[in-house]
Amino acid sequence: MDTERVAPEPHRHTVCADEDVSIKEFYKGVFNEVYIFFHPFIKPVTIDPKLFNSETNIDKFQIINHCEMVTWKEFLALNGLKSYEELDIGLRTRILGLKKEYENKKFTEIINTVSGKENLIPPTEGMLPELLINNLLGAIKKEKYDWIWVGDEFGTERKLEYIDDLINQDTLARHNLFTHDNSILITTHWDSHFSMICADDRKKLDRIIKWCNLEGFYCDDHTEIYWSVRTSKKE
């Protein structure tokens, strides 16, 4: 008779935080600081925007070379949304990523209307943005790392990659990146339009944020994956 197989808990320096606990509590004893950075909107400049809604595979270099980045702050200036929280809720509603009591279809309509008017592609959830990947990898290199582990979302598989290869090729298939000394983790929640950088040192994290010109915020002791919903309910 087979016994039930129960996998061990993943190492926390390799995976995204759970949804039902504060992010800093999840990483307690592993990382001291966590920074949430938003996935930018994409503005096609020298490429047909219709390609983003077709079966054509657009690679990282097409996006880098033919598109521009539009930040959440810049997007908010174009529409009637008042905050990052409203924008996050609208994006989550757009992909059916919230329970009905938290949805806001009005926010989603605003996002769709403005995106169409301004020729913008909304951020993709669950994966590192192509417009930021190379900058992030370059920033890790500046911290004196030549190699980085690339792991799956469950912490069950990992592959050691040479950072220059990831920069010069379009082969990054998974979105948990962590250094061999467990001091830096870049991770993406599967149903969110943002990623997180976790680090054991605030100065190191500040340097990466500055180098990449990331837009977002530091987590406090109460920040959760669904931070926008929690914040909006308190107001």
Domain spans, the chain: 23-38+127-229, 41-123
pLDDT at 215 over 60: yes
Mean per-residue pLDDT for 31-39? Answer: 97
The pLDDT-based confidence of 140 (bands split at 50, 70, 90) is: very high
pLDDT over 80 at 5, yes or no: yes
Whether the predicted pLDDT of 1 surpasses 60: no
The contacts of residue 92 (CB under 8 Å, 6+ apart) are 98, 102, 103, 191, 192, 193, 228
Mean pLDDT of 214-219: 98
Q: Report the percentage of the chain scoring pLDDT > 70.
A: 97
pLDDT at position 20 is: 87
The pLDDT value given to residue 66: 97
The Cα 168–Cα 60 span in angstroms is 10
DSSP state, 121?
B
For 98, phi and psi rounded to 5 degrees?
-130, 155
pLDDT, averaged across the chain: 94
Please report, in angstroms and rounded to a whole number, the separation of the first and last CA atoms in the chain: 55
Range in 14-28, 66-80, 221-235 with the lowest mean pLDDT:
221-235
> If we measure between CA atoms, which residue out of 99, 108, 101, 118 comes closest to residue 42?
118
